[in-house]
């Protein structure tokens, strides 16, 4: 009365599908890159300058083969799972210890209050934890690390020192002038010149990287009016400084939400860039925005105007006002027009907190 066991042919057991090969290869390569980034960080801490080494096309394609969008959606669902009360403190304490979170700044310090990881990531701060600088015209919209800043030159923007991306690829085609109340630029001017609306002004940029342990909400960096939103679906590769140094035009590959409008000196834009496990980008006043969809067309984007028959002024934002949030941590890119005497009060690589000065006239 022996039981019969039926086994599949060896060929079926070891049959590899292309998807599995891509995931395994891409995942292994991503792990290797993480290790390389760690070595670079250690060298920089010792004051040793590391030469820029850009990824080749096949390396970028291999990295993109990792299903980061699928993983990010899975991570988002996991974040929504309610944790038992007894498990909350151990789980959150491990995260706090790993990423150096300062819970004394949180509006609610009791870890049992947060029902799931999503609530913990989106925790609010105490009212006076981040005083907003009233003297300088532009403040940091978030906590984070300054990756780069300065004038935009030759229609190229630096994501980190020595690695650039195209201004037009990043922002997309110019928003119609009637939406931004700007005068029409003369034909033949470059994309950068078309954004500068006042004679004597320059175009400036600032890149802020939010680490997983940082405060995840972002705020309005100045008094301005948001007229237009452009959503680019895309990859969700890591945006940590090591990867930003390795992949040219990383911010143009990744999913991002571009808010454009104007402030007292002309053009102003804030872009929230998605990253691995940060597919969810939320803009508080934009209920129609849905990020990290299961599918999208490569190179596509969708526009939404906040100027309508009922609201011809757009969305007014006050300096320091709540603007949106990330699911975990990512990058904010500011690109704006200002007079030539605008000065940044920053150093590349420095840590900054929401409310602190970025620059002024």
Q: Give the span between the Cα atoms of 338 and 266, in whole angstroms.
A: 7
Angle at 51 between CA 358 and CA 40, to 5 degrees: 75
Identify the CA nearest to 302 among candidates 236, 226, 225, 233.
Answer: 233
Helix axes 18-45, 57-64, angle to 10 degrees: 110
Neighbouring C-alpha atoms within 13 Å toward the C-beta of 83: 20
What b/e readout covers 313-334, taking b as 16+ CB neighbours within 10 angstroms?
ebbebebbeebbbbbbbbbbbb
Pick the catalytic residue from 216, 219, 231, 253: 219
Q: Has 143 been annotated as catalytic?
A: yes
Strand partners, 157: 165
> Is there a contact between 361 and 264 (Cβ–Cβ < 8 Å)?
no
Told to judge if 290 belongs to the known catalytic residues of this protein, a careful annotator would answer: no
Catalytic residue selected from 118, 140, 227, 330: 330
Strand pairing category for 322-326 and 281-283: antiparallel
Ramachandran category for residue 157: left, alpha or beta (phi over 0 → left; psi -120 to 50 → alpha):
beta
Instruction: Specify the pairing of strand 217-219 against strand 322-326.
Output: antiparallel
Q: Which of 37, 143, 262, 286 is catalytic?
A: 143
CA 7, CA 235: separation in Å to the nearest integer?
40
For the question of residue 219 being annotated catalytic, the response is: yes
Indicate which residues carry an active-site annotation.
143, 219, 330
């Amino acid at each position: 009365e022996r039981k019969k066991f039926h086994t599949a042919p060896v060929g079926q057991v070891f049959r590899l599908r292309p998807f599995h090969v891509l995931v395994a290869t891409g995942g292994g390569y991503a792990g290797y890159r993480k290790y390389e980034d760690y070595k670079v960080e250690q060298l920089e801490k010792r004051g040793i300058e590391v030469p820029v080494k850009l990824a080749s096309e096949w390396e970028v394609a291999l990295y993109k083969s990792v299903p980061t969008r699928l993983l990010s959606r899975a991570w988002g669902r996991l974040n929504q799972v309610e944790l038992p009360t007894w498990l909350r403190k151990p789980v959150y304490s491990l995260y706090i210890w790993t990423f150096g979170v300062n819970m004394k700044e949180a509006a609610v310090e009791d870890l049992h209050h947060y029902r799931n990881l999503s609530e913990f990531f989106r925790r609010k701060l105490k009212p006076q934890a981040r005083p907003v600088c009233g003297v300088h015209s532009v403040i940091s919209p978030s906590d984070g690390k300054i990756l780069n800043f300065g004038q935009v030159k030759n229609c190229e923007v630096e994501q980190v020192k020595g690695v650039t991306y195209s201004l037009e690829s990043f922002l997309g085609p110019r928003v119609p002038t009637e939406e931004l109340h700007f005068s029409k630029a003369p034909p033949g001017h470059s994309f950068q010149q078309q954004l500068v609306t006042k004679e004597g002004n320059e175009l400036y940029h600032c890149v802020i990287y939010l680490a997983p342990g940082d405060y995840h909400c972002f705020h309005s960096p100045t008094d301005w009016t948001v007229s237009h939103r452009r959503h680019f679906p895309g990859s969700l590769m890591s945006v940590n400084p090591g990867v930003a140094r390795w992949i040219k035009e990383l911010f143009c590959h990744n999913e991002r939400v571009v808010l454009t409008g104007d402030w007292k000196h002309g053009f102003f834009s804030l872009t929230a860039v998605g990253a691995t496990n940060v597919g969810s980008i939320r803009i508080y006043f934009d209920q129609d925005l849905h990020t990290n969809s299961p599918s999208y067309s490569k190179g596509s984007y969708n526009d939404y105007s906040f100027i309508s028959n009922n609201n011809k002024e757009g969305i007014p934002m006050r300096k320091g006002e709540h603007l949106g949030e990330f699911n975990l941590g990512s990058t904010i890119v500011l690109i704006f027009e200002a007079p030539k005497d605008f000065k940044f009060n920053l150093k590349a690589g420095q840590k900054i907190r929401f409310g602190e000065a970025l620059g002024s006239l």
